[in-house]
Structure 1
């Protein structure tokens, strides 16, 4: 009996050992996943490659089919076996409804599918998004600046390709006031929706003083002509001139700071610079740490004479022998030794020690200035390319 027990234990140990993969292979798979992630999705804010290997099974999800193909090619090259259980997004259960258009004045887009999650960014009415998957009443979406986060289903109209194409082909108007409303009728008897600057709506008709419009979800109403403009005419005026940029920025003076905000209702520092450029016809990257990678270097020595209106000034902590640079803040140069930025509220600061707006704090953490206006970039696109 004792001998049989010994044989049984030995057989069990041998079987367990046989089912276990060598540690070297497990580590090699993990290293290959890390290498592909670093190459294709170094910034998780704008690319999703959440893949892991458990023994010889690849699991997780990604919206980058080329990255998954690259990973499998590397594993083939190394002679590593694998079972591909990685979900490619958009998810199959969306049934082709992989497009969406924001249908409220400002949609809060959060880091997780719940209202208590951190506000990652915002998107305004008429803004298209790519829909990646659904969880409960939330959609994982990717905005035109590539940001990937979650939006409540009430904030977007989800469409298939045909429905989305029909929306993009509609004649549009853009709301040019700061804050306003869509009314049910021309007598303004009942509100349909509120509006913020940059909201885009479909044009259905007009009278002497009103535009008849439709929201992306089909609701209809009327807006004041004095507070809106046909989209194409508006776009033709967006020359990124000094005065346009300054007027747009100063129209938001005093607006409160809001982490994740990118609208007239509240902005963080990079959301403010993003909104300035959006309201002048350009979509730029979302965060300061992304914006700093765009354009041409203008200054890093506090030589303010080199700066032009529209240049972006970046602030933070420089790199040391043991730490990387940290980009914490951004503002826009408006000339005469001054820049405008969102810190606590939208405000104008100066680097002139004799100015009442002298900002010694920001001067002390200044990093450098970049020029993005009229500098070609794949990450800076015209608004008409996403709306039409």
Structure 2
């Protein structure tokens, strides 16, 4: 088994080994992975933080030892970049931009340094109001299938990132995130920061958003936006119609 770390700002994870293949997710700076299969130009990897699998360009990750992987993949006392965008300085004094959610506790291992304040997550946050504060930092971020950053994000990438910044590691896809936490029967039982899940006509969970106070919801749909939430689903304030059908509400923290 081989192991790797992402030394660049963002690397796309693709469904198949090729640049034209669909991007299913992204690896952020400092995140580590297991290399499940290696070919001449591409590798199939599994990310340590959510066990998500996909293909990455061999030029966009750096091989590390199993010991380093074990140390860097520990979910205790990991430091993440909190600002939407900031920089790290490499050993050769060149600079790279990195984004919110980058694992800057790996910077020293990569020979990099940074001068900003990062957030360290020793455990799941008890103050759920911080979830909404962080979510609002991504307001108006454009929607991007497979995206995990403020430059482009999908619905489950959005909720995963916000929870990660607060010490809780959600699965990557909405259908898997719905397996976390405790089911609530009514919207009125929820608190800001709880998650609402939505299904399609086949009953498959395809969308997730974060509940706010006063029956509002923040979610990634075209962009990260705020809409109304009722027992039917999401009521889009621009179109004055329901855009998503509510399936369940989950209390995660």
Query: Which bin holds the TM-score, normalised by the shorter protein?
Result: 0.7 to 0.9
Q: Where do residues 113-132 of structure 1 align in structure 2 (5 Å cutoff)?
A: 113-132=17-36
Per-residue CA deviations over 1:161-220 (Å, capped at 9, x if unaligned) read 244357569x975322110122359xxx964211111222358xxxxxxxxx5363x4x3
Report the RMSD for the aligned CA atoms in angstroms: 2.9
Which residue of the other structure, out of 28, 32, 37, is the alignment partner of 1:133? Answer: 37
Per-residue CA deviations over 1:267-306 (Å, capped at 9, x if unaligned) read 111111111111111211111111122222113xxx4212
Tell me what 2:80 maps to.
174
Higher relative contact order (CA 8 A, sep 6+): 2
Change (3 A) 1:172 1:293: closer
Q: Residue 16 of structure 1 aligns with which residue?
A: none
Q: Equivalent residues in 2 for 1:1-388 (5 A)?
A: 90=1, 98-144=2-48, 145-164=50-69, 173-183=79-89, 191-202=94-105, 214=108, 216=110, 218=111, 220=112, 222-225=113-116, 228-229=117-118, 234-236=120-122, 239-299=125-185, 303-317=186-200, 324-351=202-229, 360-362=241-243, 365-373=245-253
Question: How far off its partner does 1:343 sit?
Answer: 0.2
Kept after mapping to 2: 8 A contact 1:312/1:332 = yes
Offset of residue 101 of structure 1: 1.5
Question: CA 1:224/1:238 → structure 2, altered by over 3 Å: closer, same or farther?
Answer: farther
Q: Secondary structure at the match of 2:242?
A: helix
The Cα of 1:259 is off from its aligned counterpart by 0.1
Answer yes or no: is the 8 Å Cα contact 2:122–2:167 preserved in 1.
no
**Deviation of residue 242 (structure 1)?**
2.4
Looking at structure 1, the residues matched to 98 and 174 of structure 2 have their Cα atoms a distance apart, in angstroms, of 26
Unaligned ranges ≥5, structure 1 = 1-89, 91-97, 204-212, 319-323, 374-388
Q: Matched residues in 2 for 1:176 and 1:262: separation?
A: 14
Q: Greater helix percent: which structure?
A: 1
Q: TM-score, normalised by structure 1?
A: 0.57
Separation in 2, partners of 1:238, 1:254: 26
Contact 1:256–1:346 (CA under 8 A) maintained in structure 2: yes
Q: Deviations over 1:207-249 (max 9, x none)?
A: xxxxxx5363x4x3x4333xx23x6xx2258614222100110
8 Å CA contact 1:108, 1:121 repeated in 2: yes
Question: Higher strand share goes to which structure?
Answer: 2
- Give, in whole Å, the separation in 1 of the partners of 2:66 and 2:47: 16
Contact 1:350–1:357 (Cα < 8 Å) also in 2: no
Listed as ranges, the gaps of 5+ residues in structure 2 are: none
SS of corresponding position for 1:282: coil
The alpha-carbon distance between structure 1 residues 107 and 308, as it changes in their structure 2 partners (threshold 3 A), is same
Deviating above 6 A after TM superposition, structure 1's stretches of 4 or more consecutive aligned residues are 352-355
Q: 1:307 to 1:360 in 2, by over 3 A?
A: farther
